[in-house]
């Protein structure tokens, strides 16, 4: 499914070709839906790019987007009801409602903005598209008015809604945290999150953070790294594989990797600017190399603690490595955020199963940020618990797992 790093370059190519398009973005969801808030697709006269979930709901949005293209102006909200309003040949797994904002982009007006968004995605710079989805009464701006938000500066068009400095600061903070969502302009000009889509007289904005492909940085090019790299590529990560052995780190073994680095682990990690979009996974062949990888990543985590650092291994291996690092003065708060032993508790045994377990924890972190008994690191007392973005953690019965045993290592690396 197309992410910002694909959508915005495609938007630029379309506009540079002199073609208009309609951009359909999921701005609100209720219940179980196939795509999350922020999912989007480009609709042109010759088809579409991206998806908001497929099926009858997407087809209805496509139809409305084509109507907007035919009209040549404007923007509109569309409700996609997946609870059974559409006749379906098959029973789907989703039964919620998506609110989709459809807006027209044209070459003359919007190419500079699209280029800026594409550049932010390409360089992994924080930024966002701010769009008016409901102008309110009286209208503060036309529906579809938009601006690019840069957390380190002011929006390109700060007067688009006459927002004051406090409101702009709130928006920039939300953009820096990469949180997509609707904001309602309350009386007095303050902003508040909202899930309401029905008109109530207040203007509503949609903040759509722009980020490039998230990076999966795999330290170690053994047997676990191979399926892990393939899964990462399948899920849209920019995959980097690192090893100091050319006979392991090569294109033949990792055909889908975006980057292969044959360097000592510390030098390789030091050469990469790590940030909140990065997931550093240590699946090396020994304690000393895990130590090297984790220390290098932690040095950058002191600057940005949102960097994901994970390490596989037995309880003994994890404890030995982290105690050694902690003895050198590394902050306990940083150590408690290391995902170790890494993986969700699937009872994984084979390299492929362990890779699924690892990528499962990466997905949970990306989508929920919850740390609970599903995480081996929490279960074994290393990783700090966190309720995450969706509320309270959910306990579950304990179950033995090969990856969680006291003695022995996971399957060969």
Convert the pLDDT of each residue in 326-337 to its tens digit. 999 888 888 888
Q: Could you give the C-alpha distances from 34 to 54, 80, 267, in angstroms and in order?
A: 8, 11, 41
- Per-residue tokens: 142: 């036309």
Q: Please tell me the predicted confidence (pLDDT) of residue 178.
A: 73
Measure the CA–CA gap between 161 and 131, rounded to whole angstroms: 10
- The model's pLDDT over 172-205, given as tens digits with 9 standing for 90+, comes to 777 766 778 899 988 777 788 888 777 888 889 9
Chain centroid, CA 12 distance in Å: 22
**Res 374: pLDDT:** 73
- Whether a cis peptide bond, with omega within 30° of 0, leads into 138 is yes
21-55 pLDDT tens trace: 999 999 988 877 778 888 899 999 999 999 988 88
Q: Which domains does the chain have, with CATH numbers?
A: 1-110 (no CATH), 124-212 (no CATH), 215-404 (3.40.50.720)
Mean pLDDT for all residues in the chain: 83
Residue 256 has pLDDT above 60, yes or no: yes
Contact indicator for 337, 307 with CB cutoff of 8 Å: no
Residue in this structure with the two tokens 């990076």, named with its chain if needed: 215
Taking Cα atoms as reference points, which of 102, 7, 27, 99 lies closest to residue 57?
A: 99
Q: List, for residues 64-117, the tens digit of each pLDDT value.
A: 999 999 998 889 998 888 776 444 444 445 567 889 999 999 999 999 999 999
Of the candidates 133, 178, 174, 130, the residue with the CA atom closest to the CA atom of residue 155: 130
Is the pLDDT confidence value at 280 over 60?
yes
Query: Model-level pTM?
Result: 0.68
User: SS3 sequence, the chain?
Assistant: CCCHHHHHHHHHHHHHCCCCEEEEEEEEEECCCCCCCCCEEEEECCEEEECCCCHHHHHHHHHHHHHHHHHCCCEEEEEEECCCCCCCCCCCCCCCEEEEEEEEECHHHHHHHHHHHHHHHHHCCCEEEEEEEECCCCCCCCCCCEEEECCCCCCCCHHHCCCCHHHHHHHHHHHHCCCCEEEEECCCCCEEECCCCCCCCCCEEEEEEECCCCEEEEECCCCCHHHHHHHHHHCCCEEEEEECCCCCCCCCCCCCCCEEEECCHHHHHHCCCCCCCEEEEECCCCHHHHHHHHHHHHHHHCCCCCCEEEECCCHHHHHHHHHHHHCCCCCHHHHCCCECCCCECCCCCCHHHHHHHHHHHHHHHHHCCCECCCEHHHHCCCCCCECHHHCCCCCCCCCCCHHHCCCCCCCCC
At residue 249 the predicted structure's pLDDT band, cuts being 50, 70 and 90, is: very high
Residue showing tokens 């998506």: 98
| 13-27, 123-137, 151-165, 309-323: range with lowest mean pLDDT | 151-165
Ramachandran bin of 151, using left for φ above 0, alpha for ψ from -120 to 50, beta for the remaining angles: alpha
pLDDT at 185: 86
């Amino acid at each position: 499914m197309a992410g910002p790093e694909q959508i915005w370059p495609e938007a630029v190519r379309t506009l540079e070709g002199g073609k208009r398009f309609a951009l359909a973005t999921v701005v609100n969801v209720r219940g179980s839906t196939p795509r999350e808030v922020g999912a989007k697709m480009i609709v042109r006269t010759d088809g579409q790019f991206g998806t908001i979930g497929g099926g009858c709901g997407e087809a209805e949005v496509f139809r409305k987007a084509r109507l907007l293209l035919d009209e040549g102006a404007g923007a509109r909200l569309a409700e996609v009801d997946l609870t059974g309003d559409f006749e379906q040949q098959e029973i789907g797994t989703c039964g919620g409602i998506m609110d989709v904002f459809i807006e027209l982009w044209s070459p003359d007006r919007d190419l500079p903005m699209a280029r800026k968004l594409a550049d932010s995605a390409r360089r992994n710079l924080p930024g966002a598209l701010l769009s008016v989805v409901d102008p309110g009464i009286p209208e503060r701006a036309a529906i579809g008015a938009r601006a690019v938000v840069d957390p380190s500066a002011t929006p390109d068009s700060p007067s688009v809604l006459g927002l004051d400095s406090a409101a702009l600061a709130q928006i920039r903070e939300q953009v820096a945290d990469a949180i997509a969502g609707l904001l309602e302009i309350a009386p007095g000009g303050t902003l508040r999150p909202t899930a309401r889509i029905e008109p109530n007289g207040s203007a509503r904005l949609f903040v759509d953070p722009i980020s490039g492909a998230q990076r999966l940085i795999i330290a170690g090019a053994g047997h676990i790294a191979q399926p892990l790299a393939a899964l990462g590529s399948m899920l849209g990560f920019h995959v980097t594989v690192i090893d100091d052995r050319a006979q392991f780190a090569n294109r033949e073994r990792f055909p889908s990797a975006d980057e292969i680095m044959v360097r000592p682990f510390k030098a390789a990690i030091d050469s990469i600017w790590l940030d909140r979009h990065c997931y550093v996974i240590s699946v090396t062949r020994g304690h000393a190399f895990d130590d090297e990888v984790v220390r290098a990543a932690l040095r950058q985590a002191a600057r940005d603690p949102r960097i994901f650092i994970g390490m596989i291994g037995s309880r003994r291996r994890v404890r030995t490595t982290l105690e050694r690092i902690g003895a050198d003065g590394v902050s306990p708060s940083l150590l408690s955020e290391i995902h170790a032993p890494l993986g969700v508790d699937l009872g994984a045994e084979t390299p492929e199963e362990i890779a699924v377990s690892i990528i499962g924890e990466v997905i949970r972190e990306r989508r929920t940020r919850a740390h609970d008994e599903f995480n081996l690191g929490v279960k074994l007392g290393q990783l700090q618990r966190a309720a995450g973005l969706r509320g309270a953690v959910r306990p579950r019965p304990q179950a033995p797992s090969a990856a969680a045993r006291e003695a022995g290592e996971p399957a060969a690396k």
